[in-house]
Amino acid sequence: MKTKRNCIRDLPAPSHFTKGDTLVVFGEVFERGYVNGIIDEAKNVGMKIIYSTVGRRDEAQQLRPLTADELKEKDQSPLINIPLEAGFDMEPDSSGIRPVDQLKDYGLTGWETARLNWTSIEESRQKGAERFRTHVKKFLSEVEKQIDPQKNLIFVHTMAGGFPRAKVVMPIANRIFKGIGPRYCSSQTFWESEIGRLCDMSFREVTGETFFHLIELSAPLRQKIEKSGGKVRYAAYGYHGNDVLVGDRYEWYSYSPYLQGFAKLRLEAISDTAFEKNVSCTVFNVPEILTNSSSIFLGIEVVLYPLMQALQKEAPQKTPPLIKDLLANCHSRLKEGFTLEDINRVTHEYLTNPEVRSWPSLEGWPQHNGPRQMELMRNSSSAIIDMHKDAKDLMTKDLSEIVFRSCGKIMLREMENPRYGVAWIGHDAVAKAAFN
């Protein structure tokens, strides 16, 4: 069965969401990332924003709400202070053993042959899901108190990730996502290990099942609002590769190895199933941006740079201020002697390299890594970073902001009358939205 991509190629018509309508962020806003785009758009049309939190862990590793000082620091109001932490890595089974406890004796040697107690892990998984659902019910009860049931309501699901919080996991992940030469680590070898299997379960619980729980548990509220004439919509952030400009054509490309992709597929399946049952929900597969949380994936930013060319291609006139300012800001970050053409040359060579072109495939996505593929991606990323004056001040900051702002604009408009359970936003749509 072939994967059908429902691509949004143009900016949808303006929505009629307005003052009195509410956007609920289902997941915590930590930084300038994807969700800020749709939050900004919702604010622009006068919608109310309700924030949430995943909570924090105290010294005894018990989940708790935010403190008064933490709430003040976040400066997000109104915020429903009920911990929506998902997953089960810290959830003890009936004997008090947590999944992370089973990993504490493993290091960078020996993890391949680790053996875990899956009966205990399954018990923790079920307890974690029960705890999450209990908290979501309380959260939704508070949401209902703060909205007009005759107006429209949009839930924006932002939950992703799920690396078990054990010391052994991130060093392995660093080798998978950044390792070349003697530090290279096969993502398939990891994924087929028992620790990899645990990560797979954890990713699915955090990224996918949370969307299922939200849709299912909010059904009474959804029915109440719809009966009164309002609309209820659900949006979530996915990733399944995206169209980028290669030469003069937009072509699908995907970062590899994207191990969270298996959980993103589950997220897509949940949305498609609900959409077929007349629930207005869409998973938006958005282009890569570079944030604090995505920086572990070295090379994920390489396909951000061609966005500059997509903006020039889609510009309504020759040199609009947006492009002039963006290109000037990007150029100002480069060392003397380097130009934006040098950036374009490296990304074009990377995207047209036969090894790179043959690696990601829409069929059978996501793909695992390979030593040559990782070396090409690492070298291209390093070459571009080395052209910058400051490795901590890359032009990807400006490009990422264009992506999440454009995606927010597209998403809010599309959510008025969503056409698909899963939709792709490529650099073509991002560029067109940036000019409107």
| Total domain count, the chain | 1
Q: Return the CATH number at 180.
A: 3.40.50.720
Position 386 in a domain: no
Q: Is the pLDDT of residue 1 over 70?
A: no
Q: Is the pLDDT of residue 247 over 80?
A: yes
Position 387 in a domain: no
Distance CA 245, CA 253 (A): 10
Q: How confident is the model at residue 293 (pLDDT cuts 50, 70, 90)?
A: low
List all residues 6 or more positions away from 314 whose beta carbon is below 8 Å from its beta carbon. Answer: 428, 431, 432, 435
Q: Is the pLDDT of residue 376 over 50?
A: yes
**pLDDT score of 291:** 74
Do the strands 22-26 and 48-53 form a parallel or antiparallel pair, or are they unpaired? parallel
Each residue's pLDDT tens digit, 157-173: 999 999 999 999 999 99
Sheet bearing 422-425, strands edge to edge? 7-8, 422-425, 281-285, 232-238, 153-157, 22-26, 48-53, 79-83
**pTM attached to this predicted model:** 0.96
Position 167 in a domain: yes
Nearest alpha-carbon partner for 265 in 88, 34, 422, 33: 422
Average pLDDT over every residue of 122-138: 98
Position 352 in a domain: no
Please identify which residue in the block is written with the tokens 């620091």. 73
Average pLDDT over every residue of 19-33: 94
Position 37 in a domain: yes
Q: How confident is the model at residue 317 (pLDDT cuts 50, 70, 90)?
A: confident
**pLDDT score of 327:** 94
Position 278 in a domain: yes
Q: Which domain holds residue 256?
A: 7-298+398-434
**pLDDT score of 316:** 85
Q: Is the pLDDT of residue 24 over 50?
A: yes
Query: Across the chain, what does the average pLDDT equal?
Result: 95
Q: Is the pLDDT of residue 3 over 80?
A: no
Q: Which two tokens stand for residue 153?
A: 């309501």
Position 390 in a domain: no
Distance CA 350, CA 16 (A): 42
**pLDDT score of 413:** 98
List all residues 6 or more positions away from 126 whose beta carbon is below 8 Å from its beta carbon. Answer: none
Q: Are 101 and 183 within 8 A, CB to CB? A: no
Q: How confident is the model at residue 120 (pLDDT cuts 50, 70, 90)?
A: very high
CA dist 95 → 69, 89, 201, 374 (Å):
35, 15, 21, 42
Each residue's pLDDT tens digit, 7-23: 999 999 999 999 999 99
**pLDDT score of 320:** 86
Average pLDDT over every residue of 185-213: 97
Position 377 in a domain: no
